[in-house]
């Protein structure tokens, strides 16, 4: 778990301090789908291949397989609320961190979105147990 945390911090700080950044535009549909635990709607925003980390499960998945992994997570952890606590962008890249409260605990959610032809796609999604 420590290695994942270090990777996440390096990624976040590298992204944030690598130059100019502005307030990111995160598609509202992504936020709503996480709040609702709707993997089908969320998967519409997945790139064809997604780097996905869900608790201890880490891999690069096809869009369809990633949806199944997220659906499994949501079925075991029914969302109660989700809020973005930080977001930034740099050109066509958007990064956001959020807090997902579920019936079984609280999770930190990180996602990296890249715009391709003015359409936003999730390239990386991480859901990690939030330490108390």
Contacts (Cβ under 8 Å, ≥6 apart) of 81: 35, 100, 101
Asked whether the beta carbons of 12 and 97 are under 8 A apart, the reply is yes
Paired sense of beta strands 119-129 and 79-90, if any: unpaired
CA-to-CA distance for 82 and 108, rounded, in angstroms? 10
> Which residue, 9, 36, 43, is CA-closest to 100?
36
0.85 cut: is pTM over it? no
Residue 109 pLDDT more than 60? yes
- Structural domains in the chain, CATH included, are 2-129 (3.10.450.50)
- Condensed to tens digits (0 to 9), the pLDDT of residues 50-107 reads 999 999 899 999 999 999 999 999 999 999 999 999 999 888 899 999 999 999 999 9
């Amino acid at each position: 778990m420590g290695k994942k945390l270090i990777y996440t911090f390096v990624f976040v700080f590298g992204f944030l301090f690598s130059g100019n950044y502005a307030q990111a535009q995160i598609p509202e549909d992504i936020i709503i789908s996480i709040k609702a635990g709707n993997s089908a709607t969320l998967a519409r925003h997945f790139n064809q291949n997604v780097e996905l980390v869900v608790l201890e499960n880490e891999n690069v998945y096809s869009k369809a397989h990633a949806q199944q992994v997220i659906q499994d997570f949501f079925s075991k952890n029914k969302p109660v609320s989700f809020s973005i606590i930080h977001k930034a962008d740099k050109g066509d890249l958007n990064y956001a961190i959020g807090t997902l409260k579920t019936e079984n605990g609280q999770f930190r959610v990180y996602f990296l979105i890249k715009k391709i032809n003015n359409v936003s796609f999730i390239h990386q999604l991480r859901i990690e147990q939030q330490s108390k």
